Structure 1
Amino acid sequence: MLLSVLMLLLVVSGAQTAYYGIVYTYSAGDIQQDALPTLNSFKLSFSSCEELDSWLCEGNCSVLDLYVIDESRGEWCQKEYIVNIPDTVLTILDAAADYLLLSANWTENRNGIVSIATAPLIDLRNRSDINKPNSSPQTTILPLLRVPSNCQRNINLLVSDPNGDNIRCRYAASPECETCTPPSVLSVSPSCILSFSPTNSTDEGPYAVQLVIEDFPRQIITLTNSSGSQEVKTSSDVLSKIPVQFVFGVDPAAPSCTEGLYLPRFLPPTPENGAQISSNVNQILEISISAEATQAVITELLFSGPRNVAKSSSGSGNFTLTWTPSAGDEGLSHTFCFVVQANFSSSVYQSDLRCVLVTILGSPTTTPVTTPVQSTITTFAPSSTTTPAQTTTTTFPPLFTPSLNASTLIPAPRPYYVLALNAKISTTLSLENDAGTITTLIKREMIKYGVPSDIIIELRSNGKVLVTVSP
């Protein structure tokens, strides 16, 4: 049933329009009464919202769950199409055998990409390690990213995986694309960093970018379908593939590549790229963004993120993204990506791309206070021979704050514990680029040993890990 929905979505006929890309992701929920709820998200981008509606809905979008994400008038419009399917089949859907063609054409580009194709791999067999189906890597991107031809630019895609799998990025290859010529001016690393180096004016213009993001298990797992048939997957086997397509514009050279002059520079309180933010269901989340460009005029903020996000401006260079997560967002993580755009004469300049990860917790119901906690800690001295455990009792400030009754401020009659964990973690992942993956893995391991599932893991700039627990 899921595959038929995908085909219905991506083979709808329509007028010839200017395509600016797609980001497809899927998330599988827990198996409930032999049903497998699967949330499929298609972020589609065209040269205008009207053209997108004409292509996707044949002019009538009232019957679809279609949401406007953002729009840059005269350039592009991004909308999200949501399909929530209570599927009952634990199966693998490999669209590479009959790859999905969109009946529109790419916007004009230098690398000669005309026809549109994607070939997602969707595996909904039950995983032995998490006892539910796989979810794909989660990310987003703006339909158009631009850089002056004389300026260096690295684009760090923020990609997270709900299952803590390894993530790799690459350019699409047949049959994941009709014409698979990658942009000659842009390289992509397996760690999802796109790199652009200064180039000649003859290379200026738009390029079609066709990426594929894959996830790989970190250990040997078994996948089981509805009939009981099983397949073993190792760390070198792909679990899913998602398409990420957008336009990369190489603009005429800027008078200066120094950020803050012509190219906007982010200022506090703008969150850093890769920052992790926690919010609660039905609680208003505000992301404040500030930028400056002393030699140009800042005109707008452009973003991509979940549906129903509002943006506002409180003066030149100061913007706010406002979003209220709903109950359906609880337990999910959403990627927000944004750029600030400025004009000078007839030229348009973009800041670098920043992305943050927002994790949605349950509704807050308690009021925290601070109180010291007495804890008994057992330490083991490292030695080549067995050494008796040494036990000490001491008083620490709390690693978390116990919940109190809001009306009486009397603690609930239950014990509170401080868990002191000293661990050395070795990884080939980057603290700068893979913070989301690292914290997800730490959280999964701690939950295995009985720590509550609502813990919040933060990776600090000094490499230390902060763990917050709400009892």
Structure 2
Amino acid sequence: MIKWTPTANDVGEDIPICFIAQTTAEYQSELRCIIVVVEERQSKPNIVIANEAPVLGGFLTFTPKGKNPDGTIRMDSRFKASQIYTGSCSPASSWKCHQGDCGTITTSEYGETDPDHPGDNCQLQGFVTRSLQTDKPFDLLDQDCCWTYNTEDLGSWSMIAHIDLGRRSDTGNPNRSPVTTMPPQIRVPQNRPTTYNLLAHDPDGDNVRCRYGIKNNLECSTCKTVPGFTLDENACSLSFSGSSSSGVYVFELVLEDFPRQNTTLKYHDGTSTVKYPMSLDASDPLSKIPLQFLVRVGDAVPSFVLGEYIPKYITPTVHHGTFIRTSLGKEFSFPVSAVSTKSQIKDIEISGPLNIEKTFEYDTVTGVGKAMIKWTPTANDVGEDIPICFIAQTTAEYQSELRCIIVVVEERQIESDVECTDTTMTLYVSKSSIKGFNETNLRLNDPSCLVTTNGSHIIASVSLNSCGTQVEETVDEIIFRNEMTSFDHPHDIITREHQIEIPFTCKFSRKSRLSASFEAHKSAYLSTDVGFGNFTYLFEFYDSSAFTTVIDPKTYPIKLKLKDMIYMGIKVRSSLSNIRLFVESCRATPHDNPNDPIYYDIITNGCTKDKTTKVYSGSLKEFRFGLQAFSFIGNYDQVYISCTVLLCGAGDNKTRCAQGCTDSYNRRKRSMISDTQRHFISQGPLRLAGNSSGCPGFSLNRVIAVALLWPLLWLLEL
């Protein structure tokens, strides 16, 4: 560690410092030198902090934030500098004005993100506010020494950002740069072709191009393309052919945004310029921002099967490119889970904003690593599209795919409260805080569950294991999650973007509150439908084929052995006598979610699919069936049975009920008089208590009993 403190005699000087490493045999490394420019202290200096460790890359993005009270222009920028961890983390960035009027720095802060240092990496995120006298273009430059060891033996590095705050003719606002982030290092096995979808989101909806930097523009150090890798500039994807030699490769990229139509930028001095859509010869983008990182090509992996050596994401991990809305001061969180059966997951590495938090735990029995990522937006984040990326890594340094999400931070603070009991959770939302929204166009995770309203609040009350409520378990807590969202029209099946997203959560201590109520016998499902009034579905497990004794809810989760018969009954309570219950489908899932990507069909389109399933005689208002217990092959410790049910008018041969079992049933528009809407109901969980067949490989709390005797079930990739 080389340290030096300038004196008054050094002010205004360019002080050279050279260094060289030498062995006891008197062999020496290359000679390297740096220049230290000594300036007098300024009241509002640029962030200039000397590197104390080799860097791993970084980026800079910017967002205009309107005018300050004194008439100047406010612009916020966010940068990241990654470096090798050497016992402490200190900022390694020196963004200086290179060209144009860069204004003055009014506020700055920085901090470490993901501070666990699992791979001896250090991520430092910075936030800077500038006050600008003009909206004309300017450039910020960051240069220094040195890259960490790399195959190309690159030494110094250079990044430049081109910023243009002219007012756009298409949006009426100044341009915002693309946003991006990246974990410090990407690791890929030497023999595994892989494609990485780089995060290149533009808040203005512009097209983004990712390209290699140009040395003459100070965009990079050497600007070399990397053999064995292909960069798709328009898709912003980086593909590895699986043929490169092992080593560390440096990527010095530039992200450029182009408008989707000819767009004029107007400036306060009366001048203007025109920007054109992206094309093969387009060379004048709205802005340019750097993105630099390392890819470490490691030893060959023995298997390409996801979930063995290469970590595989499992439910409830979010998909790449997901947009999530949150508001100022509200804690935002999401879980990430990955499994690796032949290598131990040591961490879920994240790259995100200041103040982001992460907890991680690894289950040695299941091979599952779980992280909970939390972040609370501050006033500086309002109006921003905040990127968060994550990647799972094993002790053998194999990594999962790279996934990224965008968190849209709004100023709106929805007034809501959550009330938790041993069996229910209830969300109360103030109507005054969501003015302009139709309260009838609100749904929960299960859209068949209704919300209610009074004069001042919208209310959603659900049992802990109904209406699509998801259950998560940590070492200390059991967590129940649901969400109220809005949609455009009552009959929409999907929506591309929710206008309102209000997640609500209840957390209970495992030590003090672990009881059958959390393992969740489901209460009755209350429903209302045109022509049928109010009715209730009940879904129960029975102790025998006589269907006379319901299994006591206090004994949940129900423990079974392989080949044991599971007896289930679904009935409807209604004041109407001329109705008929129809069970259209049933499936087994390892989570309390009928849309879980991991499932096994028991009944489909009214037809039994499992060979052990038997339907018993019942009544028009009751459906009874049973099947032999089996186990999912995989790392799951509970299972639920989810069914789709509906009611029809009895005696009407044009209803879905009258059609019965059919693989070719035409899902025509339902009759508002003869059919109800389809409703999801579920019950569980069931858990394997022992192995009656003597087959090896099954253990309590590891393998789940439910749905099939002999077929092999496989995991569907997310």
TM-score tier after normalising by the smaller chain length: 0.7 to 0.9
Matched AA of 2:82: S
Of 391, 394, 397 in structure 2, the residue corresponding to residue 342 of structure 1 is: 394
Instruction: Work out whether residues 114 and 179 of structure 1, in 8 Å CA contact, stay in contact via their aligned partners in 2.
Output: no
Which residue in 1 is equivalent to 2:213? 172
Moved more, 207-216 or 331-340: 331-340
Look up the SS of the partner of 1:350 in the other structure. coil
Q: Is the 8 A contact 2:91 2:124 kept in 1?
A: no
SS in 1 for 2:67: coil
Instruction: Please say if residues 358 and 372 of structure 2, whose CA atoms lie closer than 8 Å, have aligned partners that are also in contact.
Output: yes
CA distance 1:457–1:335, change in 2 (3 Å): farther
CA RMSD of aligned residues (A): 3.3
**SS of equivalent residue, structure 1 residue 124:** coil
Structure-2 change in CA distance of 1:266 and 1:123 (3 Å):
same
Which residue of structure 2 aligns with residue 424 of structure 1?
none
Aligned to 2:325: 278
Q: Residue 64 of structure 2: which of 28, 31, 39 is its match?
A: 28
Name structure 1 gaps, 5 residues minimum.
58-62, 371-395, 412-454
2:658 aligns to what? none
Residues 13 and 103, structure 1, Cα contact 8 Å, conserved in 2: no
The offset of 1:103, in angstroms, is: 2.1
SS in 1 for 2:126: strand
Structure 1 residue aligned with 2:232 = 189
1:82/1:177 CA distance change after superposition, 3 Å:
same
CA distance change for structure 1 residues 360 and 64 in 2, over 3 Å: closer, same or farther? closer
Mapped partners of 1:274, 1:104: distance in 2: 34
Separation in 2, partners of 1:410, 1:294: 48
Distance 1:287 1:298 in 2: 19
Q: Provide the C-alpha distance between the structure 1 equivalents of 2:92 and 2:161, rounded to a whole number of angstroms.
A: 21
**Structure-2 change in CA distance of 1:173 and 1:330 (3 Å):** same
Name 2:109's counterpart in structure 1.
65
2:53 alignment counterpart: 17
Report the Cα offset of residue 149 of structure 1: 0.5
**Which residue of structure 2 aligns with residue 393 of structure 1?**
none
Is 1:88 the counterpart of 2:130? The answer is no
> Displacement of 1:151 after TM fit?
0.9
Q: Within 5 Å, give how 1:56-205 maps onto structure 2.
A: 56=93, 65-71=109-115, 72-73=117-118, 75-94=120-139, 100-174=141-215, 175=217, 176-190=219-233, 191-199=235-243, 203-205=245-247
Shift of 1:54: 6.9
**Conserved in 2, the CA contact under 8 Å of 1:303 and 1:336?**
yes
CA deviation digits over 1:411-438, x for unaligned, max 9? Answer: 9xxxxxxxxxxxxxxxxxxxxxxxxxxx
* Structure 1 counterpart of 2:382, from 330, 334, 346: 330
- How far 1:145 sits from its partner (Å)? 0.5
Would you say the 8 A contact 1:39–1:83 is kept in 2?
A: yes
Q: Residues 183 and 390 of structure 2 are in contact (CA less than 8 Å); yes or no, is this contact kept in structure 1?
A: yes
User: How far apart are 1:31 and its partner, in Å?
Assistant: 3.5
Match of 2:76 among 39, 43, 63: 39
Length-normalised TM-score, structure 2? 0.49
How far, CA to CA, are the matches of 1:242 and 1:54 in structure 2? Answer: 19
* Contact 2:110-2:127 at 8 Å conserved across structures: yes
Amino acid corresponding to residue 310 of structure 1 in structure 2: E
Cα drift, residue 49 of structure 1: 6.5
Output aligned runs, 1:434-449, within 5 Å. none
CA distance in 1, matches of 2:137, 2:386: 25
Inter-partner Cα distance in structure 2 for 1:41 and 1:457: 33
Of the three residues 307, 310, 318, the one matched with 2:357 is: 310
More helix by share: 1
For residues 53-87 of structure 1, the C-alpha deviation after alignment (integer angstroms, 9 at most, x for no partner) is: 27559xxxxx9511111243553111111111232
Amino acid at match of 1:184: P
How many residue pairs match? The answer is 379
Structure 1 residues 137 and 251, CA gap change in structure 2 (3 angstroms): same
Question: Amino acid of the residue matched to residue 234 of structure 1?
Answer: Y
> Is residue 363 of structure 1 aligned with residue 413 of structure 2?
yes
292, 301, 305: which is aligned to 1:254?
Answer: 301
Distance 1:368 1:16 in 2: 50
Over the matched positions of the two proteins, sequence identity in percent amounts to: 30
The answer as to whether partners of 1:279 and 1:285 remain within 8 angstroms in 2 is yes
Conservation of the 8 A alpha-carbon contact between 1:43 and 1:80: yes
Secondary structure (helix, strand or coil) at the match of 2:362 reads coil
Contact 2:81/2:91, CA 8 A, preserved across alignment: no
Tell me, yes or no, if the aligned pair for 1:186 and 1:194 is still in contact at 8 Å. Answer: yes
Hey, what's the Cα distance between the residues in 2 that align with 1:223 and 1:457?
35
Q: Could you say what secondary structure the match of 1:218 adopts?
A: coil
Given that 1:303 and 1:338 are in contact with CA atoms closer than 8 Å, whether structure 2 keeps it comes out as yes
Match of 1:320 in 2: 372
For 1:223, the aligned partner's letter is L
* 1:220-244, Cα deviation, whole Å (9 max, x unpaired): 2222223111112222430100000
- Cα distance in 1 for partners of 2:43, 2:264 equals 27
Matches of 1:301 and 1:229, distance apart in 2: 49
Alignment partner of 2:380: what SS? helix
Alignment of 1:389-468 (within 5 A): 398-400=440-442, 408-409=455-456, 465-468=495-498
Distance in 1, matches of 2:257 and 2:487, equals: 22
In structure 2, list runs of 5 or more residues that go unmatched. Answer: 1-41, 95-106, 364-368, 417-427, 432-437, 444-450, 459-484, 501-718
Q: Which amino acid aligns with 1:298?
A: I
Relative distance call for 1:177 and 1:37 in structure 2 (3 A) is same
**Contact 2:196-2:238 within 8 A present in 1 as well:** yes
Q: Residues 3-46 of structure 1: CA distance to partner in whole angstroms, max 9, x if unpaired?
A: x999944xx46356311001110011233553221111110111
- Tell me: CA distance 1:173–1:7, structure 2 relative to 1, closer, same or farther (3 Å): farther
Q: Is the deviation greater in 160-169 or in 64-73?
A: 64-73
- Tell whether the 8 Å contact from 1:20 to 1:144 is kept in structure 2 after alignment: yes
1: CA distance between counterparts of 2:214 and 2:43? Answer: 24
Q: Deviations over 1:197-247 (max 9, x none)?
A: 2115xx101101111100011122222223111112222430100000011
CA gap of 1:177–1:469, structure 2 versus 1, over 3 A, is closer
1:328 counterpart SS class: helix
| Shift of residue 126, structure 1, vs aligned partner | 2.1
Q: Larger relative contact order (C-alpha < 8 A, sep ≥ 6)? A: 1
Which residue identity lines up with residue 370 of structure 2 in the other structure? Answer: N
What TM-score results when the alignment is normalised by the length of structure 1? 0.73
Are residues 300 and 351 of structure 1, via their aligned partners in 2, closer, same or farther at CA, if it must alter by over 3 Å? same
Q: Retained in 2: the 8 A contact 1:14–1:104?
A: no
Aligned equivalents of 2:317, 2:290: Cα separation in 1: 29
